[in-house]
Amino acid sequence: MPQGSSFRLIAGIAFGLAAASGAAAVANAQTADGPPAKQEPAVADDPYQWLEDVKGDKAIAWVREQNAKSEAELATTPQFRKLETDIRAILDSTAKIPGVEKIGPYYYNFWKDKDHERGLWRRTTLEEYRKADPKWETVLDLDALNRAEKENWVWHGADCLKPDYTRCLLALSRGGSDADVTREFDLTTKEWVKDGFFRPEAKGGMGWIDKDTTYVYTDFGPGSMTPSGYPRIVKQWQRGTPLAQATQVYEGQAQDMYIAAARDLTPGFKRDFVYRTIAFYNDELYLRGDDGKLTKVDAPNSANKSVHGPWLALELREPYTAQGQTFPAGSLLVTEFDRFMAGDRSFFALFTPDEHTSLAGFSWTKNAIVLNVMRDVRSELTSWRYSPSTGPGVDSGWVGKPLTGVPSMGALSVGAVDADESDAVWVSATDYLTPTSLMLADVSKDAAPEALKSNPQFFNATTHVIEQHFATSKDGTRIPYFLVKPKDAKNDGSTPTLLYGYGGFEVSMTPAYSGGVGKGWLEKGGAYAVANIRGGGEYGPRWHQAALKANRHKAYEDFAAVANDLVASKLTTHQRLGIMGGSNGGLLMGNMLTQYPELFGAIVVQVPLLDMKRYSHLLAGASWMAEYGDPDTADWEYIKTFSPYHLFDATKTYPPVLFATSTADDRVHPGHARKMMAKMLAANKDVRYYENIEGGHGGAANNAQSAHMNALAYTFLWNELSK
């Protein structure tokens, strides 16, 4: 069973760009070919609603015209071509760490470079992986598949059946959309299974029950999808029978967000679960019996529920009282799953937050759970083991110890190598100037982690330093931000500075090395800042909830406070300060543009939400109402205060803007960026636009497209801010 309840995967569905943590990649998404959310009648006072016709001839012609203008302005110089080539070389580098996933005896990696634009799914042994230049066995060549099938498949992952690992369900997307197909693949023959399981293109998925049975949640026809465009029904499907004859397992309510099911194949703890996601941070988890009966795991809907072996873990987003003890929001609790299902409500708190700490994540191993705790946005790892024989007076049996031998600065991440088989974990470490390194640790031992691999230096980092500062927001809240600046920066306002932000969906902006930021910005002598504003998860649920719905303005006040702090430090000026963000961060950029135009010299707005009156009726927008509110109700009174499309004032002066989006984004509708561009263009504002014809919510389907869009953004910003 995937860690986390119904759907931390939904958090990924929300806005993938935030994970770039300021890497300035342009986001990833889904095509409008998937089942759309309900489309409402035209808005009478919106002259640009025709641009919501994603692939309409008139709209596409407009897109091509705008693209050509932007290309003519930004992409014709030798400097642009060199930057694009440099970024492409970084993305195509064969020296990067190949991230692996253990499947049976092999370690699998999905790899893209200049010779494999769509990628290779390949495998090796741990012995080989430890080498500087491992030997890989190709399992599936996606570029060759595309040539053979005359398709444009993009890899969406593999689910391989335990314990034999001979059959896999592979998800493939056309052009990078969230909508995808599922096909059955034989790992032994490395071929598609003839007449094997096949799920037609739609948003959804499927997973193994056993070698002849799967759970499938997808588009089954009218009424089977939620208003967000995700599955509302999950079925059990037997091999050799038509999908139409699959047996219904569960049907959600009409306004639910996502329904799914999975079998936990952990040895000795085989269980089936049904997930009902009602809205973000509001879900139910059900245990499915052999007779098909569903029993609710009676934990708070707001809690992230994780089952591993004998244990149930609850990551709280609200205070929770159990057996007379109240645990604060942000805590991580554990108990025995079977005892909980029998009515016992005794828990042990592995973590409780304070004003400086939050839980960034956790990973189960065979006999332990490893916690990643952020202290003022800096990572600390602790391993907890259950030892019932720890002696008299010890009620919990849980014993924790820090994971030693890992870097104390920057961002750490941890993940189990094989949670069924061992206590081994992968540990990666990075910061803005230090390439990612990968270590292998055994949390059952006291030995230091084994250093395995490190990414190369993609830019000259010796000229810069990393600092952490705190700005004071309008309501007095201290807002942390990271600053990467030249060592010789003068306090005369002369340094072009790029500020990145996100501020939503409890996503934390932690330090991350980006060759693109380094090559496109830092090497030119610029400074780079990342704001840890409210709406994110840097201080747990409280930080996120502080900027929800009617309090959304606090995220924007926080970002403005960081901008002002950078100028007050005399590092830069408002005219030399540029900003960039995508997806929910694109909404942030839109509000900076319309509410704080005087603070910035240039703005890049990537795959954004901008029309907050229409957002819930466009593609996956309905799934975000828990974050923003419902514009079709009284909520509109506060939503309109952060709807950039409606806040735009043709009489105001705005800084230069670049909008970047993707036609194939079936998560955040490209109509947001198109319409805002059209409105600003009609008012003769300094604005340009680029829309990639494929690429989904990330804006690009391959490295060449990513390099081009990143080069456009950095070229635009440098042109405007270095004047």
Q: Do residues 597 and 636 make contact, with C-beta atoms less than 8 angstroms apart?
A: no
Task: For Cα atoms 234, 313, 506, give the angle at the middle one, nearest 5 degrees.
Answer: 80
Q: What is the signed CA dihedral for 128, 441, 430, 99, rounded to 10 degrees?
A: 30
- Which member of 6, 514, 583, 623 is catalytic? 583
β-pair partners for 327: 320
Category of 294 on φ-ψ map: left (φ > 0), alpha (ψ -120 to 50) or beta: beta
E strand or H helix at 151: none
AA identity, residue 572: T
In DSSP terms, 530 is beta-bridged to 482, 500
Residue 6 to residues 270, 305, 306, 526, 628, Cα–Cα distance (Å): 18, 8, 9, 42, 21
From start to end of 607-714, where are the E strands? 657-662, 687-692
Q: Specify the DSSP element, H or E, that contains 646.
A: helix 644-647
Distance, C-alpha 275 to centroid of its chain: 20
Type of residue numbered 127? E
Interior angle at CA 510, CA 204 and CA 453, nearest 5:
85
- Dihedral angle computed from the Cα positions of residues 708, 712, 713 and 719, in that order, rounded to the nearest 10 degrees: 150
| DSSP line for 589-628 | HHHHHHH-GGG-SEEEEES----TTTGGGSGGGGGGHHHH
Residue 488 CB-half CA count within 13 A: 3
Residue with tokens 């005892």: 339
Cis peptide bond prior to 392, omega within 30° of 0:
no
Beta strand 527-531 with 497-500 is: parallel
- Residue 583 annotated to the active site: yes
Check if the beta carbon of residue 441 is closer than 8 Å to that of residue 425: yes
Q: End-to-end alpha-carbon separation of the chain, Å? A: 54
Q: Give the Cα separation of 488 and 495 in Å (integer).
A: 10
CB 675 within 8 A of CB 662: no
What are the φ and ψ backbone dihedral angles of 636, each rounded to 5 degrees?
-60, -25
Number of H helices, E strands in the chain: 15, 39
Cα separation, 532 vs 508, whole angstroms = 7
Paired tokens of 639: 């939503």
CA 184 to chain centre: 26
Q: Break the chain down into helix, strand, coil percent, rounded to 5.
A: 25, 35, 45
Specify the DSSP class assigned to residue 713.
H
Q: Give the total residue count for the chain.
A: 723
- Active-site residue 708, yes or no? no
Tokens 């996503």, located at residue: 507
Catalytic residue among 464, 646, 669, 697: 697
The residues annotated with a catalytic role in the active site are: 583, 697
